Chains A and B, each alone.
Chain A
């Protein structure tokens, strides 16, 4: 998604062309979903985050001024929603309150039906859940979303040096664990 086509789509949407919004969402929805799924660790929560992000986009796109790239703006919204969901989940755990999503986690609802693929994704997700959120977010942004350190810095507000340190720290843990499992 280049900046120009993003700009064109946003402009069209603001003029009332809803198809432009649908196209915009179609361009980014997989990035949003997979980022969320890796952050929160399951399909149901990722679905919740993805829907929330689409709603925010619909309501707040008119305030976007292209001072940053649309991609980093969308990732910022996605990441904020993921962290909020994780925090809420933690609080519920503190209060010993059952999360309705957690109770449904064993359900078969998923967009991956192939057993091997599901196992592969779950294996990586389990490893991701073993590292602290701050390291996880950098690892996901860099390794899976393939963002540059500058883009991650724009999203998280952290220095490139700090992000690199976190990324390599997380990578050593993740790939170390992966290596142990093999």
Chain B
């Protein structure tokens, strides 16, 4: 019985009823003992679910130092990757410019961001790391990276899912991979590289 009134009870508790609806609710509450009892039971459950529990507050004092440590580790690993990347970028620039490829402006944009935005650099470097040719970078994908960092992973996952659906990723093969291999594939997929063909 209560189930039928859940929405009504919540609307009343959260003040989401019109004046007319509120008056009707209160009149029913006064006249109907069963409705009244149901409302009391529901209110108890509703507020009880929100109650805070006792937690170890020390955890929250460790968060910033832990995050800071991770950020520093990630920063040094980015520099390592960047060292690898330098020759690739130079070669890719040469190919891109000599081919008079349409992606020149994208690439310039990318390079600008490398120097301006550490965080974006970190994400984009891993995307470009093993790209076969920069001219194969998808414009749309690149602009999504550029315009909204927060949705970066979203784009990658959509791409990954698309590849799974289109069977370009061989599930049987992937079943045998370790977690580190999986992560490596995940990184490679961000570069739109056909990893299965390479294995």
Q: Point out residues on A near B: beta carbons under 8 Å.
A: 22, 25-26, 29-30, 33, 50-51, 54-56, 58-60, 76-77, 80, 83-84, 87-88, 91-92, 94-100, 111-114, 117-118, 120-121, 124, 143-144, 164, 168, 171-172, 175-176, 178-179, 182
Contacts and interface: CB of A to CB of B under 8 A. Distances in A.
Interface stretch (B45-53, B106-114, B125-133, B134-142): B45-53
Given A84-B153, A95-B171, A143-B49, A29 B7 contact: no
Nearest to B178: A97
Contact of B182 (A60, A95, A179): A95
B184 interface: no
A112 B53 contact: yes
A83 B154 contact: yes
Contacts of B10: 168, 171, 175
Contacts of B2: 179
5 contacts: A84-B154, A87-B157, A92-B179, A172-B6, A175-B45
A22 B153 contact: no
B24 interface: no
B63 A171 contact: no
A58 B72 CA distance: 12
B160 interface: yes
Interface string B63-92: 110111011001000000000000000000
Given A113-B56, A172-B3, A56 B179 contact: no
B67 A80 contact: no
Q: Chain A interface secondary structure, helix, strand, loop or mixed?
A: helix
A26 B60 contact: yes
Contacts of A95: 171, 174-175, 177, 182
Q: Chain B interface secondary structure, helix, strand, loop or mixed?
A: helix
A168 B151 contact: no
Nearest to B119: A59
Contact of A98 (B3, B63, B74, B179): B179
Contact of A91 (B51, B157, B178): B157
A4 B62 CA distance: 27
A58 B54 contact: no
A80 B155 CA distance: 12
B68 to A, nearest CB: 8
Contact of A144 (B50, B68, B178, B179): B50
A94 B68 CA distance: 33
Contacts of B153: 80, 84, 87
Nearest to B173: A95
The 9 closest A-B pairs by CB, nearest first: A117-B53, A54-B67, A59-B119, A84-B153, A111-B59, A95-B174, A111-B56, A111-B55, A51-B67
Contact of B54 (A88, A114, A168): A114
Given A98-B179, A172-B7, A59 B154 contact: no
Given A51-B66, A98-B179, A178 B119 contact: no
A51 B177 CA distance: 27
Given A33-B60, A88-B157, A92-B182, 16 more contacts: A51-B66, A51-B67, A55-B74, A56-B119, A58-B67, A59-B119, A84-B153, A91-B160, A112-B55, A113-B56, A121-B53, A143-B49, A175-B45, A176-B3, A178-B45, A179-B42
